[in-house]
Structure 1
């Protein structure tokens, strides 16, 4: 039976579009990326690669399943493969099955790479419980039920390529652990799920009796989240909100362009109203709800303002202090965030360091490359294929 040539052409276009409209965590590398494409995106990588990954090794950007984890999302036992997107291979269990990336608790960067980005609702990072069992398939019971890091995007669209970096406070753990990075798309019913195999110092002791938790029926509406039961020594929650700030002191270099730095309080619990205000600093430091939105010197108040950007005018230096007040019917709580912008101007071109791969760069850092001076636009780790003359989302030539 011969197929219509037009139908074949249309089908090819559809497949091509689907394959490219995705993304993955590049650093630390996701399980799928370590199968084959790691050296394409990090030419300096000389470590081991994952083996016997199946077809997903050719499309690490395609791990897509229904959004709404943990209430919905991929089925238990199929979290690694995102519901067998390209086969079940990524769901294989075993403490020695997958290549691991060394990591430590505290501030860590997570770099995303997008082949063709979608408008985004949020990014979330979940981590396994310290006593999870690596010899069993990944289930919801393997992970903590709340993310250790949430980055709200409010429908913004990331740039293509290596355009997004998050700084998250990774909890204390021991030995082999899993991080589940979830990119929730704003304009579809799906999200992208990346499992990252990491190794902390020490050794975890698996709980071999950990029960499986069945995945909710995907044909039913997602149930409301269930709060964990109170411990015997806890009282009924009937108090002011508990504010959780990802980073309370931001130190950055002066930027030649207007820049915004996220103040993330998405882990705050019990708040019904948020108030953000600048309490110290000049008018060069302002408030901005999200990238591209208007800036303000007056307080910003809202029910959903769990994150706010500290907007800094181009060329500004100095310090500013911001105050977050979270309140509910039982009272209010206040915390402060300080941003410090350092003057990193160079007197001579010879004093500007040369661009180097495997070097961490912050917004405002300057490097020399092929006779020009470039300024860093996004936090990232340098790589040869992200040289300043080609990575326009990461660098801007200033001289």
Structure 2
């Protein structure tokens, strides 16, 4: 009887398969705590989100994954180190560059403000907390704990519940003047991590609260969409002379009617809008509830994702109107919910 051994080619294949299996196992262990949750503040637009939208420049790789600003929770006692707060620990160091002119700013008024999160992978949540820089902070020094009032101006206990993909916190922002930074912290309930987003804001409107006698617009909806425009409509507010329309917290236009069309947008991209009523004396209402809506089409066309196709690192697909790039080998893992997929423009 002759014993037949596998030839050399087959031995190489067996070794390669074995090594691939081990490698995938290691990768799954390393990223086991990363697939739990991801998200970013869309309105008022965070520093990272404005990088993604192109309003901030020279941002580094955060433009591809603004949802990935993750670090240990427990801030201010734990979490990212001083000087690395904006980057959530230094993985995206460009975000930590700090000066009074480095970043685009979102106009904001004190009082009731809605913070709109876009969660690309939601998870059981412990809390949402919001901090703001102190009066007299130094905007030309790296962000540190000394920059902030360490008591949150807004803290929401979420009790371990899984939030919706578009989650909104309604908070009372304290009165400030000029440039400040808001730190928004999303604490996950059953991992050791949290997500840290800084928002560069410019206080306008004289430092007063919204006029309580002027009703915030209601019923904000989209009436039409194209590859480059979104049409909006809302219910009239009694006493309003005009309306201001905000995209991602930044003023994009005004209207004397209850409709507005925002043009020059990017195909296949989500935008978040709010509307503020203004009376003839210039007093403003609180903002409407936010509306997130996407333009049609896609800025770049990639093949549609398939659950039965094997993808390798660098492969790109389209899923639910968004584009994704595979970080490594994947099969059957859904873009937008699995860490192996990175959202790209």
TM-score (norm 2): 0.55
* 1:122-161 aligned within 5 A: 122-159=127-164, 161=165
Aligned residue pairs: how many?
A: 217
Report whether the alignment pairs 1:30 with 2:46.
yes
Once the two structures are superposed, residues 141-190 of structure 1 have per-residue CA deviations (whole angstroms, 9 ceiling, x without a partner) of: 1011201111110000112x32x111111111111100000001100111
Deviation at 1:25, TM superposition (A): 0.7
* 1:93-172 aligned within 5 A: 93-159=98-164, 161-162=165-166, 164-172=167-175
* 1:242-261 aligned within 5 A: none
- Show the counterpart of 2:92: 87
| SS of residue paired to 2:168 | strand
Q: Distance in 2 between matches of 1:195 and 1:9?
A: 34
- Show the counterpart of 1:77: 83
Q: Distance in 1 between matches of 2:35 and 2:57?
A: 22
Once the two structures are superposed, residues 239-258 of structure 1 have per-residue CA deviations (whole angstroms, 9 ceiling, x without a partner) of: xxxxxxxx9xx99999xxxx
TM-score (norm 1): 0.48
Deviation at 1:6, TM superposition (A): 2.2
RCO higher in structure (CA 8 A, sep ≥6): 2
Whether the aligned pair in 2 keeps the contact of 1:360 and 1:382 (CA below 8 Å) is no
Q: Distance in 1 between matches of 2:206 and 2:57?
A: 24
Q: Distance in 2 between matches of 1:186 and 1:20?
A: 10
Give the direction of change, closer, same or farther, for the CA distance of 1:80–1:382 in structure 2 (3 Å limit). closer
Q: CA RMSD in A?
A: 3.7
Whether the aligned pair in 2 keeps the contact of 1:54 and 1:89 (CA below 8 Å) is yes
Whether the aligned pair in 1 keeps the contact of 2:33 and 2:191 (CA below 8 Å) is no
* 1:314-393 aligned within 5 A: 360=274, 379-384=289-294
For structure 1, list consecutive stretches of 5 or more residues without a partner in the other structure.
39-47, 205-246, 255-352, 362-377, 392-399
Deviation at 1:53, TM superposition (A): 1.4
| SS of residue paired to 1:153 | strand
Q: Distance in 2 between matches of 1:126 and 1:134?
A: 16
Q: Distance in 1 between matches of 2:32 and 2:259?
A: 39
Whether the aligned pair in 1 keeps the contact of 2:218 and 2:289 (CA below 8 Å) is no
Deviation at 1:73, TM superposition (A): 1.3
Give the direction of change, closer, same or farther, for the CA distance of 1:7–1:74 in structure 2 (3 Å limit). same
Once the two structures are superposed, residues 353-395 of structure 1 have per-residue CA deviations (whole angstroms, 9 ceiling, x without a partner) of: 999886649xxxxxxxxxxxxxxxx953242359xxx99xxxx
Whether the aligned pair in 1 keeps the contact of 2:47 and 2:200 (CA below 8 Å) is yes
Give the direction of change, closer, same or farther, for the CA distance of 1:11–1:29 in structure 2 (3 Å limit). farther
Q: Distance in 2 between matches of 1:360 and 1:90?
A: 26
Whether the aligned pair in 1 keeps the contact of 2:42 and 2:118 (CA below 8 Å) is yes
Q: Distance in 2 between matches of 1:112 and 1:155?
A: 17
Q: Distance in 1 between matches of 2:135 and 2:204?
A: 12
Q: Distance in 2 between matches of 1:144 and 1:165?
A: 23
